[in-house]
């Protein structure tokens, strides 16, 4: 797929991995609609992109708003979702607040909403890319909610790939990535990320551009569908 002139919608496109994807699609000549919940994030993101990127404040759990957005952009080519849907629960499962565990699935519901409502408005040769995470296949203690949701996201893509063909859907699975998702600042942030990656083969956190490059690859390569690409520093290996 030649990305020049293609129409792309990116949910979670105003910070972190999603914003990096927006910037890379724009650099490849695409016209991008970047969507996010936070007006502050939108304002900050606008300073990093050009005139071929427009912004929409939207919640992926708001189906009416999603329907209106897709109808206004009928015929678009690429759908990316890196939106978390909300907060993610962590900690020992037997001590976990079950509402928090259930709330972590807002990410899956958001993905289901965007794919279900958006696919019918896509071009026949369109591509969808979702973002999961390495705990889907190697869960550390305390990550049961994140792991379960990530596993569901990857199976969701595999399950619907045959149904939406010739449109394609793939998943990118990041490792520990240095994004605003981690609220720790200053020296403590470096210490946190170092500890989080000390047992990985590549002993550093990834950056959003490294994950976004895989997202662009999945959108652009016409011969992959229903698969997951890991950008995780070897996190899923022994």
Cα 6 from Cα 178, distance rounded (Å) = 29
pLDDT digits (tens, 9 = 90+) for 90-137: 999 999 999 999 999 999 999 999 999 999 999 999 999 999 999 999
Could you tell me the domains of the chain? Answer: 7-181+207-231 (3.40.50.720)
> What pLDDT sits at residue 38?
95
> What pLDDT sits at residue 146?
94
> Quick check: helix, strand or coil at residue 129?
strand
Pull the structure tokens for residue 11.
């949910």
Cα 87 from Cα 146, distance rounded (Å) = 10
Pull the structure tokens for residue 128.
């969808």
Cα 101 from Cα 53, distance rounded (Å) = 35
Q: Which phi and psi angles does 216 have, rounded to 5°? A: -65, -40
User: What secondary structure does DSSP assign to 60-92, as a single string?
Assistant: TT-HHHHHHHHHHTTTEEEEEE----S----S-
Pull the structure tokens for residue 8.
């792309």
Q: 40 to each of 6, 37, 63, how far by Cα in Å?
A: 27, 9, 22
> What is the rounded (10 degree) CA torsion for 111, 168, 31, 36?
10
The pTM score is: 0.94
For residue 57, the cross-strand partners are 36
Q: Please, are residues 150 and 236 in contact by the beta-carbon 8 Å criterion?
A: no
Q: Indicate the pLDDT class of residue 185, thresholds 50, 70 and 90.
A: confident
Q: Indicate the pLDDT class of residue 88, thresholds 50, 70 and 90.
A: confident
When computed from its CA atoms, the radius of gyration of the chain, rounded to whole angstroms, is 17
Q: Please, are residues 27 and 42 in contact by the beta-carbon 8 Å criterion?
A: no
pLDDT digits (tens, 9 = 90+) for 40-74: 999 999 999 999 999 999 999 999 999 999 999 99
């Amino acid at each position: 797929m030649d990305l020049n002139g293609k129409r792309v919608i990116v949910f979670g496109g105003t910070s972190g991995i999603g914003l990096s994807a927006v910037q890379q699609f724009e650099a490849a000549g695409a016209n991008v609609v970047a969507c996010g919940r936070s007006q502050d994030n939108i304002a900050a993101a606008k300073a990093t992109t050009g005139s071929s990127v427009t912004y929409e404040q939207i919640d992926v759990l708001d189906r009416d708003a999603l329907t209106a957005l897709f109808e206004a952009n009928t015929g678009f080519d690429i759908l990316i979702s890196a939106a978390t849907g909300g907060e993610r629960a962590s900690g020992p499962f037997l001590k976990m607040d079950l509402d928090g565990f259930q709330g972590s699935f807002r990410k899956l519901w958001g993905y289901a909403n965007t794919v279900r409502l958006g696919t019918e408005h896509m071009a026949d040769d369109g591509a969808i890319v979702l973002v999961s995470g390495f705990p889907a296949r190697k869960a550390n203690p305390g990550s049961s909610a994140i792991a379960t949701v990530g596993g569901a996201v990857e199976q969701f893509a595999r399950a619907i790939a045959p149904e939406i063909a010739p449109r394609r859907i793939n998943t990118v699975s990041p490792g520990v990535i240095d994004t605003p998702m981690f609220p720790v600042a200053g020296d403590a942030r470096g210490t946190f990320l170092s500890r989080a990656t000390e047992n990985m083969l590549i002993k550093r956190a990834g950056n959003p551009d490294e994950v976004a490059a895989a997202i662009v690859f999945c959108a652009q390569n016409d011969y992959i569908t229903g698969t997951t690409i890991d950008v995780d520093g070897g996190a899923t290996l022994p």
